[in-house]
Chains A and B, each alone.
Chain A
Amino acid sequence: MVDFDEHIARALIARHAAREGPLLPILHDLQAEFGWIPEEAVRLVAHVLNLSRAEVHGVVSFYHDFRDAPEPRPVLKLCRAESCQARGADALAVHAEAVAGDRIAIETVYCLGLCSVGPNALTGRDHLHARLDAGAIDALVAAL
């Protein structure tokens, strides 16, 4: 995560501004760059795309991927959907919360598409973990 930088933000917005429906690609890039979508970014996007700030804010707040506040801690996204529930994800989530304490953020994701080998989790952008049990969670949390 880095502090908001208007020059970087302008460059990210410019990369997509000519596309059809540029808003989501822009927000994804801003989220990846800054770790959240700061109010200054909303203002800037609205200005460049000629939208109202309310429209941009409405989109940011609609989608789970876009954060309106930074999350400085490492994040472990644990799947809590039905297929993982059937393999013990609910109890595992309680265990994960306990071992994570305040150092790691345990978040819920609904389905990573690995429904035959759950419980599953995601760390970072694309690091997937399957067949989790309490021991695997301990190792994952310790490594984050």
Chain B
Amino acid sequence: MSLVFFLSDDALALACGAERVAAALRAHAPDAEIRRTSSWGMHWLEPLLEVERGGVRTGYGPVTAADVPAILAGEAEHLALGPVDGHPFIAAQTRLTFARAGRTRPLDLGDYRATGGWRGLERAREIGPAAVLDAVTRSGLRGRGGAGFPAGIKWKTVAEAAGPVKYIVCNADEGDSGTFADRMLMEGDPYCLIEGMAIAGFATGANKAFVYIRSEYPHAIAKMRAAVEASAGIVAPFAIEIREGAGAYVCGEETSLLNSIEGRRGEVRAKPPLPAHEGLFGRPTVINNVLTLAAIPFILAEGPEAYAEFGMGRSRGTMPIQLAGNIRQGGLFETAFGATLGELVIDIGGGTASGRSVRAVQVGGPLGAYFPPSLFDTPFDYEAFAARDGLIGHGGITVFDDSVDMARQARFAMAFCAAESCGKCTPCRLGSTRGVETIDRIIAARAAAPTPVRAELVGTQSTAGQPLPSLSTAEKKGSTSTSSVQTEKGQAELTAALTLIEDLCETMKFGSLCALGGFTPYPVLSALHHFPEDFGGAAETAPAGSEA
């Protein structure tokens, strides 16, 4: 009976020990074939091993090397998942962009074509550039990097721009914590991105593309380089070059990314001129996120209506949502816009990994707002999040349990901005540092405030399941002063610092050149407004965390 194994070679599977599992398979079943596929995106089950015996495919996970003999003997029922494509986490999704996830070998051109690959590009070449622009516009596709700008309008602007040289730039500088969809797409289905870029080039008259991938993604860089080489003949005369970032978060901002490719400091450019008019090397440039470009082959192959039929309001199609942080069932969940935050975190994600209650979720990366469970009815949609002073950003959801100290999260948002600021504009460069100092004063003063600081924080900072020593030294220091004079003085300092932080956030929001300084107020103010008890104030009337 033929025996075939399917095991992901995605970076996350490797980090979880997939190579050790592969070695054990080779040792215990030397004649069997091991196919290294992309990841299904069920990360709590990685390494996820599928075994095909006589045409029947069964999944097991999470698998260690030590489990291999039992799996081969058919005795690992506690790890058995049944057919993986029927798993509730997969069956509940609408996978348009991630249709191949878990199913194909990332660099196998045969697998790609057999699953509908290159049909979008062939269709584009049949109907011509103008009809491609029309299809992308009618699909309603908006930029998946975070800003949500309509892709069709951006492409049309570049197509209409005069000039013999134009560029396509793919922003693969996925620096937001809580996001990994770009990485999974590049490592799992690189030809899909290449096809999307080739269609963009065909539609706009650009012959050259750059993919700017952050250096923290060495596996994605290697896969993309191999895929570009293997598919060069198919997309020719369109040419693609892979560029490696150098550890600067701000280079995810499109104009600083362009500067970085050009070999400059990754400083933000003032807009206008828009990159569509004067972008890379001063030429008209389409700059799109990985997920935007990877959505294109489906739109061309299946038609814009097939894509636009999913979604809600002005958010059409699907969004690959990333469930991250302290979550029981973390991973990639592609679904039509409109699912609520509560459905995603509780029903799909299964709540926290630590088993404690959910206290906060940060949506949209380090520049996204923190939401309490009382706002879990918010639907995943650009406008719905904006209406609640948040953003969906790149679609990452980071879950925190009730051991989180929101004042420290607000401080981190400012500290991160200070560390990653490009330095060009003052509100971001200086405001972030003053923000850290101000929140430090709040943390020091809150212990003296009338509402006691959540004392249970000290000593219970939990990791996924296990207690670890607390880092909250500031709280311990602060809690020693209790005389009434000090209390009064502390209260005055606290009030002054809280006023200052609101004011500072206002300045950063409206005075910064780009989203780094401009959006850092989102996590800071949302933490302050939804979790005032962590800042020495009284709790919201419906205590955050009570519903989870």
A interface list, Cβ under 8 A from B: 19-25, 27-28, 58-59, 62-66, 79, 81-92, 94-95, 109-120, 122, 125-126, 128-131, 133-134
Contact = CB atoms under 8 A, between A and B. Distances in A.
Contacts of A118: 325
A94 B471 contact: yes
* 8 residue pairs, one from A and one from B, having the closest CB atoms: A88-B463, A116-B330, A23-B263, A81-B177, A64-B247, A115-B324, A63-B246, A86-B325
B323 A116 contact: yes
Given A21-B261, A126-B218, A114 B412 contact: no
A68 to B, nearest CB: 13
A117 B248 contact: no
Contacts of B249: 110
Contacts of B263: 21-24, 59
B122 interface: no
Contacts of A84: 177
A98 B526 CA distance: 34
29 contacts: A23-B264, A24-B246, A24-B263, A28-B244, A62-B248, A64-B248, A65-B247, A82-B366, A83-B177, A83-B325, A88-B462, A88-B463, A89-B463, A91-B468, A91-B469, A91-B471, A110-B249, A110-B366, A111-B177, A112-B11, A113-B180, A114-B180, A115-B177, A115-B178, A115-B396, A116-B43, A116-B44, A116-B180, A116-B324
A114 B12 contact: yes
A99 B265 CA distance: 36
A91 B472 CA distance: 10
Contacts of A114: 11-12, 15, 43, 180
Contacts of A119: 463
Contact of B412 (A59, A63, A82): A82
B289 interface: no
Contacts of B216: 109, 111-113, 122
Contacts of B462: 88
Nearest to B322: A115
A62 B265 contact: yes
Nearest to B461: A91
Most buried by B among A24, A111, A113, A114: A113
Given A82-B362, A82-B412, A116-B331, 7 more contacts: A19-B241, A24-B263, A81-B416, A82-B177, A92-B463, A92-B468, A128-B219
Interface string B512-546: 00000000000000000000000000000000000
A87 B183 contact: no
B457 interface: no
Contacts of B469: 91, 94
Given A87-B326, A116-B324, A130 B16 contact: yes
B400 interface: yes
Given A21-B263, A63-B248, A87-B463, A129 B175 contact: no
Contacts of A79: 177
Nearest to B43: A116
Contacts of A28: 215, 244, 246
A95 B469 CA distance: 9
A87 B324 CA distance: 10
B288 interface: no
Contacts of B404: 86
Contacts of B396: 83, 115
A122 B241 CA distance: 26
A17 B241 CA distance: 15
Interface string B352-396: 010000000010001000000000000000000000000000001
A42 to B, nearest CB: 14
Nearest to B219: A126
Nearest to A84: B177
A134 B420 CA distance: 28
B393 to A, nearest CB: 12
B289 to A, nearest CB: 14
B183 A117 contact: no
B149 interface: no
A24 B177 CA distance: 24
B15 A59 contact: no
B21 to A, nearest CB: 14
Contacts of B46: 117
Interface string B88-132: 000000000000000000000000000000000000000000000
Contacts of A110: 175, 177, 249, 366, 416, 419-420
B11 to A, nearest CB: 6
B89 to A, nearest CB: 12
B438 interface: no
B38 interface: no
Interface in B117-161: none
Contacts of A128: 11-12, 14-15, 219
